Amino acid sequence: MDDVDRILLTELQRDATQAYAALGKAVGLSAGAAHERVRKLRDQEVIRRTTVDVDPAAVGRGVAAFVLVEANAWMGDHPVREALEALPEVVEAHVIAGPASLLVKVRTATTEDLQASLRRLFAIDGVTGTQTIVVLESFFERPVDTRG
């Protein structure tokens, strides 16, 4: 992982469809050399996968919320994880240090669906309460900065 790799990662985050020749040009390498570096980054799982960024509103997920989940027992175990993974509206789930046990990010079509989701979170074993933060506007959601 040197500076060349970091630039390659930034370029791929910006546009993963560009040709290796273009990537190579961005770092002063040949297409083949750029290809080899990217292959290694994939092997090491620095690059976990190539994916597309989908507009949530366009697929009926225009409402976003963060939900602090309080529990009467340790929530950092696998049954809880699986229960959350089974909920398609839950896009992130984190074990946290702070005012609750978990923080989950939810995306739904409407606030009614958000309410339904909260009911489902409540139904998870050990959950004693939720505190919901509704997103009014997202300034940005961007990939991790690979430099700085």
Q: Which is nearer to DNA, 19 or 91 (CB)?
A: 19
| Distance between CA atoms of residues 32 and 18, nearest Å | 14
**Residues 107-126 interacting with a second copy (rule: CB under 8 A):** 107
Handedness of CA 65, 49, 29, 148 (dihedral sign): positive
How far CA 93 is from CA of 5, 6, 33, 76, in Å, comes to 29, 27, 38, 10
| Nearest one of 117, 26, 126 to 79, comparing CA atoms | 126
Contact (CB, 8 A) for 3 and 144: no
Residues composing the chain = 148
Q: Which is nearer to a second copy, 125 or 145 (CB)?
A: 145
Q: Which is nearer to a second copy, 97 or 123 (CB)?
A: 97
The residues binding DNA (CB under 7 A) are 4, 17-21, 24, 28-33, 35-37
| Distance between CA atoms of residues 115 and 105, nearest Å | 14
By CB under 8 A, residue 2 contacts a second copy? no
Q: Minimum Å distance from CB 39 to DNA?
A: 7
**Residues 63-92 interacting with a second copy (rule: CB under 8 A):** 64, 66, 68, 76, 81, 84-85, 88-89, 91-92
Residues near a second copy (CB under 8 A) are: 1, 6, 9, 12-17, 44-56, 58-59, 61, 64, 66, 68, 76, 81, 84-85, 88-89, 91-99, 103, 107, 131-148
